[in-house]
A and B are shown apart, each in its own frame.
Chain A
């Protein structure tokens, strides 16, 4: 059994960085904790929920997807080399690892996005089992678990009352990482701690059945009333993948950028002619819920939400996906539709 002292996680990060990995870990950043690239001296924090999700490192907020040299009325395509550094997502949440199934699917379900795939192939995923959860956590309602190994190449288990960590490799990438960790891990024995108790709060199949029949329900106004359309939920969400494509140019060069976008923004679906098929915030919030709990399940047999609760922790208006889903389930119980 490979173990290390919980206080030595930064030594492991140092060793892996020395072995050529870009090490992504939850670190203290001002008064918040966020996933960031490890640098010596940073403080690793596994006891607080990071505000961002691990998707930042596979599907960056903004990236160059095409480049041209502009020559007056003509142009010359230039080489595009999106970086795909060897990366380890270390001590991320199991819900972050679980979200990769969704991203892998979207970026490959028909056309294969090699920009994403190159980074994904170079990434080793090492989640840390959660021994504590907060009121916004609901992974168990959407098929996850605080000790889930879904999407993981290796799993870190807190052990011996939190004083140690067990590193359990699960795939070849995980084994290679253990190899690279060398002396930062010791052979020994430790007793794994119990995972957090996360009670299931709703049944996504019931939510999905209600959604199928209630595109026009009055409940949407109520559920979305507080929404400011700021998009913070989408940026923090590990599965939100909507993006915009924008050109930026000087006189001599242009780049095409892929930038995160959100169906919560008013301009997201607005046509050039002025018509907007989703004219108000209720229509936009409905799309967010429908997409995750109806459209994605229908097409990909996945739930488009991992229950991480980031959107609720970050929402300036206090809205919560968990609350929306439990409310919808309540509604479904009131008027039992034809269950599918």
Chain B
């Protein structure tokens, strides 16, 4: 095959190539726990930044990568109300996350997105919100929380229950303190029994049990739940028992992804593409899915 035949018709950098990311500069990095890091990423220019924020809705994800290593899927952990940069928070679990973790301030990574669906927060105006998060799964909800707090007057009461195995495993500690100090946010933190420290002032207990104890009334309230599968498994029945309707309870799904744009065929759960129809689903949708596929 001669590569140059009619190459004028082929896509180049000037043409559109949906698999080509843009370079982003690491503007800041923070260690959340021993193996969880947050990167703050700046866009290469105003055009890219504007294009991103015109499209971005909270709950969407991106592919973060290093040339030569590959790409990884994480949610965008910062809200669309903060438009100078984006943040992502991830646990080091393999080669790509190791490479991303090693980036220093001023160095670059690649980014594609935003992809997927989003939390329908415009439909939630005037409603109360209950956030339930476990461990490393706070980032997607953190983006929603800041989105709501940046537009605080448009929403009702905000309650947050966040739990982790140990105090050391809690992410975004500064922000937890900030939410705790606000009188228009009701934050409850908990750690698993044995995970507390001497000066721990939060609860001790598993998220589902603490939820049962502290949950607000379900009336006019949207519930958002993100956490490890085991936490989700035991939390959803509690929410149902407390009277939160499955259609008003939201979560996000993770599956292996490569393309992020509905082509590579890797992320489906039944006939749904997590990269296109998700990552945000209601519990009602979840119940209709073939569970063996998740």
A271 with B256: in contact, given A80-B11, A298-B271 (CB under 8 Å)?
A: yes
Interface string of A151-167 (1 = CB under 8 A from B): 00000000000000000
Residue of A nearest to B268 (CB): A295
Q: Would you call A269 and B266 a contact (CB within 8 A)?
A: yes
Q: Would you call A81 and B12 a contact (CB within 8 A)?
A: yes
A85 to B270, CA, bound (A): 37
**Of B66-74, B121-129, B234-242, which binds chain A?**
B66-74
A287 to B67, CA, bound (A): 32
Chain B residues near A269 (CB-CB < 8 A) = 255-256, 266
For residue A332, CB closer than 8 A to chain B, the reply is no
Interface string of B252-293 (1 = CB under 8 A from A): 001110110111111011110000100000000000001011
Cβ distance B56 to chain A, nearest Cβ, rounded Å: 16
A79, A86, A277: the one within 8 Å of B12 (CB) = A79
Q: Would you call A22 and B5 a contact (CB within 8 A)?
A: yes
Chain A residues near B153 (CB-CB < 8 A) = none
**Of B18-26, B75-83, B219-227, which binds chain A?**
B18-26
Q: Would you call B17 and A114 a contact (CB within 8 A)?
A: yes
Q: Would you call A114 and B68 a contact (CB within 8 A)?
A: no
Residues of B1-23 at the interface with A, using a CB-CB cut-off of 8 Å, are 1-7, 9-13, 15-21, 23
Interface string of A19-30 (1 = CB under 8 A from B): 010100000000
Chain B residues near A245 (CB-CB < 8 A) = 19, 70-71, 258-259, 264
**Of A42-50, A134-142, A253-261, which binds chain B?**
A253-261
A111, A118, A272: the one within 8 Å of B11 (CB) = A118
Interface string of A254-294 (1 = CB under 8 A from B): 10101001010000111111000110000100010011001
Q: Would you call B18 and A111 a contact (CB within 8 A)?
A: yes
A86, A121, A254: the one within 8 Å of B67 (CB) = A254
A261 to B5, CA, bound (A): 28
A166 to B292, CA, bound (A): 52
A307 to B275, CA, bound (A): 29
Q: Would you call B9 and A277 a contact (CB within 8 A)?
A: no
Q: Would you call A66 and B20 a contact (CB within 8 A)?
A: yes
A75 with B67: in contact, given A86-B5, A269-B255 (CB under 8 Å)?
A: yes
Main secondary structure of the interface of B (DSSP, over half): loop
For residue B181, CB closer than 8 A to chain A, the reply is no
Chain A residues near B19 (CB-CB < 8 A) = 65-66, 115, 245, 256, 258
Q: Would you call A272 and B266 a contact (CB within 8 A)?
A: no
Q: Would you call B18 and A80 a contact (CB within 8 A)?
A: no
For residue B45, CB closer than 8 A to chain A, the reply is no
Chain A residues near B265 (CB-CB < 8 A) = 241-243, 261, 263, 291
Q: Would you call A85 and B2 a contact (CB within 8 A)?
A: yes
For residue A112, CB closer than 8 A to chain B, the reply is yes
Chain B residues near A75 (CB-CB < 8 A) = 23, 67-68, 108
Q: Would you call A272 and B93 a contact (CB within 8 A)?
A: yes
Q: Would you call B7 and A70 a contact (CB within 8 A)?
A: no
Beyond the given pairs A271-B254, A295-B271, 4 more chain A to chain B contacts, judged by CB atoms under 8 angstroms and listed by A's residue number, are A73-B104, A79-B13, A82-B11, A271-B255
Seen from chain A, the residues whose Cβ lies within 8 Å of a Cβ on chain B are 20, 22, 37, 65-66, 68, 70, 73-75, 77, 79-86, 106-107, 109-115, 118, 121-122, 215-216, 241-247, 249, 254, 256, 258, 261, 263, 268-273, 277-278, 283, 287, 290-291, 294-295, 298-299
29 contacts between A and B (CB under 8 A): A20-B5, A22-B5, A65-B20, A70-B67, A75-B108, A80-B13, A81-B12, A82-B10, A85-B2, A110-B261, A110-B262, A112-B16, A114-B11, A114-B17, A118-B11, A215-B290, A215-B293, A216-B292, A241-B263, A243-B264, A244-B264, A247-B69, A249-B67, A258-B19, A263-B265, A272-B93, A272-B94, A283-B293, A290-B270
